[in-house]
Amino acid sequence: MLTIIPQFIIGATDLTAAFLFMYGLKRMSSPVTAPSGIMVAGVGMLVAVLASFLYAFDIGASAKPHLLVNLGLAIIALVIGGGVAWWSGKKVAMTSMPQMVAIYNGMGGGAAGAIAAVELFGNKADGVTQLAVTLIGALIGAVSLSGSLIAWAKLDGVIKKPLRIRGQQAFNGLVAIVTLGVGGYIVFVTRSGATPLIPMPDLIYLFFGCALAFGVLMTLPIGGADMPVVISIYNAFTGLAVGLEGFVLQNPALMIAGMVVGAAGMLLTLLMAKAMNRSVNNILFTNFGVATKHKQGDIKGSLKPVEAGDAGIFMRYASSVIIVPGYGLAVAQGQQKLYEFVKLLQAAGVSVKFAVHPVAGRMPGQMDVLLAEAGVPYDLIFQLEDINDDFANTDVALVIGANDVVNPAARTDKASPIFGMPILNADKAKKVYVVKRGQGKGYAGIVNALFYGDNCNMVYGDAAAVLTKMIEAVRALGTKAAA
Ligand code: NAP
């Protein structure tokens, strides 16, 4: 063996990367420390990549002639991949983040699958256990790749509707059984020594083909709106696949990174499912929001529109306002205008707080990021459990681009698809203003009784445009007073 780099240096580098991943992840648990957490985890990834290069110098003499070529290829791949990631990360809009996460996640699964393919076609597996682990990693990585690409296409509107056929689940089950059967057969035949792996490339192609098809088939029937949870599941899959391939390559940095990503993805999936009061099974196998008993006639009251300026002036003379931001605020990119309006209210002595629901928007933490982007101080932002009791003592709840997260049906209507989901108690405020463009439903596709309440007025329009009018109206008051 040609060993230029002492093993303990490689080990220490891997350990440093692992520490940075975990410390970074811990910092990501609060919006205050999250930006630095992302930086720390990024440095961890850089250290892990450097560690992989150190492995290149710890190789057998037979591989030495390829060393320079392989290093050159790896550097070219890093420059291209890093460049594309830098460019796309800079230009992506906040509302397109889920798509970007889907693509990057798919790439991770694909990379794990590619490592497995190199191992399988190169017949490198050292024993049955390693072969089985390689195949499991290949299966999960390939499912994650094709499934994430379908998730991207749905989120981006390339695929507009869930594609469901009769007997879909049975057919998907059949494809899964064939995939597992081919994988099992490869392990069995290799174990019995009857056939070395190299003469079985056709079976390996079939295995990958079935696994990729399974990812596509599993994701096609799921509704576009459930894609954030699906991406989170695929994120867990990717982590698992990377961890398994790390085991195959005996690369601790890959193993640890894979386990951290896998565990984080699974926890996130469970948290999202819990915040929506749904099970992961229900998300994967049910047509959410399609069937609902609700008809507009079931709800008493009427929609009462008011002008944006009048609502703005009313809030200017209130003593307390709680703002509930939702998906529509991100669509309108109205966060800067919102904070400008808040500063005007504060200058007039109004107490203003933000109430953030754990699944407001389309990505966990999307509202926190949006408000942070506008420079809203963290001490104005409250999570559901910390603010829900305050609504009853608040003059105005300003619901801006939010819908499902303030739908009282979640408390009372057992037939509602969101029954049991914890909601923000906006309806308990003395006065409620709801800013939205029209009669559009929320993600769950149901009518919201809050909008018809006696204490509620609708302010129709794009959130950014409405806020501009509110700001103008409040400013005009100041000008009149001065004149
Ligand atoms: P929502 O229920 O989807 O409602 C958003 C509302 O914003 C719509 O009713 C829409 O009405 C309005 N809107 C859209 N564009 C607008 C614009 N430019 N200006 C003003 N209003 C606009 O949103 P939410 O209350 O934030 O709830 C999030 C939902 O997503 C929950 O059901 C949650 O379970 C689900 N979900 C969240 C996540 C997550 O991780 N955050 C993941 C998966 C699912 P108009 O069309 O009439 O304007």
C-alpha dihedral (73, 74, 75, 79), degrees to nearest 10: 100
The whole-number average pLDDT for the span 378-399 is: 96
Separation of CA 363 and ligand 1 centre (Å):
11
Q: For residue 300, with 0-12 CB atoms within 10 Å meaning exposed, 13-18 middle and 19 or more buried, which class applies?
A: exposed
Find all residues with CB under 8 Å of 170, minimum gap 6, and list them. none
The pair of three-digit structure tokens given for residue 228, joined into one six-digit string: 């954030």
Predicted confidence (pLDDT) at residue 220 exceeds the cutoff of 80: yes
Place 5 in a pLDDT band, splitting at 50, 70 and 90.
Answer: low
CB 371 within 8 A of CB 300: no
Which of the residue ranges 122-126, 364-368, 408-412 would you say has the lowest mean pLDDT?
A: 122-126
Question: Using CA atoms, how far apart are residues 99 and 364, in angstroms rounded to an integer?
Answer: 14
Amino acid at 281: N
For 299-333, how does the pLDDT look when each residue is reduced to its tens digit (9 = 90+)?
788 999 999 999 999 999 999 999 999 999 999 99
Contact 359, 274 (CB under 8 A): no
* Residue ID of nearest Cα to ligand 1 atom 46: 440
Q: Whose CA is nearest to atom 11 of ligand 1?
A: 440
pTM of the model: 0.78
The pocket around ligand 1, CB under 6 angstroms, is made up of: 225, 228-229, 272, 276, 326-328, 331-332, 359-364, 366, 401-405, 435-444, 462-463
Residues 6+ apart with CB under 8 A from 163: 220, 221
Ligand 1, atom 18, residue with closest C-alpha: 332
Average pLDDT of 43-49?
Answer: 92
Q: Which one, of 277, 286, 317, lies nearest residue 407 by Cα?
A: 277
* Token pair listed for 235: 């994120």
pLDDT by residue (tens digit) across 243-290? 999 999 888 888 988 999 999 999 989 988 887 777 888 777 765 444
Q: Are strands 396-400 and 431-436 parallel, antiparallel or unpaired?
A: parallel
**pLDDT over 90 for what percent of the chain?**
57
Q: Residue with structure tokens 């209507």?
A: 413
CA 83 – CA 92 distance, rounded (Å): 14
- Closest atom, ligand 1, to C-alpha of 406: 25
> What sign results for the dihedral spanned by CA atoms 269, 274, 277, 279?
positive
What was the pLDDT predicted at 404?
Answer: 92
Q: Hey, which residues does 13 pair with through a beta bridge?
A: none
Q: Which atom of ligand 1 is nearest to the CA of 361?
A: 26
Q: Tens digits of per-residue pLDDT, 119-178?
A: 998 877 778 888 999 999 999 999 999 999 999 998 888 887 777 788 888 898 999 999
> Would you give the end-to-end CA distance of the chain in angstroms?
87
* pLDDT given for residue 152 in this prediction: 92
Q: Is the pLDDT of residue 2 over 60?
A: no
User: With the C-alpha atoms ordered 170, 286, 229, 401, is the resulting torsion angle positive or negative?
Assistant: positive
Active site residue 379: no
Out of 17-26, 58-67, 196-205, 248-257, which region has the weakest mean confidence (pLDDT)?
Answer: 58-67
DSSP structural state of residue 163: -
Q: How confident is the model at residue 52 (pLDDT cuts 50, 70, 90)?
A: confident
Which DSSP string do the residues of 70-105 spell out, in sequence order? HHHHHHHHHHHHHHHHHHHHHH--GGGHHHHHHHHH
**Arithmetic mean of pLDDT, 447-465:** 96
Rg of the chain taking only CA atoms, in angstroms: 27
CA distances from 394 to 86, 388, 463 (A): 44, 11, 22
- For tokens 């529109």, what's the residue? 305
Measured CA to CA, the distance from residue 283 to residue 136 in angstroms comes to 24
Catalytic residue among 226, 368, 390, 404: 404
Substitution candidate for ligand 1 out of 234, 327, 467 with most atoms within 8 A of CB: 327
Taking the centre of ligand 1 as the mean of its atom positions, its distance from the CA of residue 309, in whole angstroms, is 24
* pLDDT value for 205: 95
**C-alpha of residue 365 to centroid of ligand 1, in Å:** 14
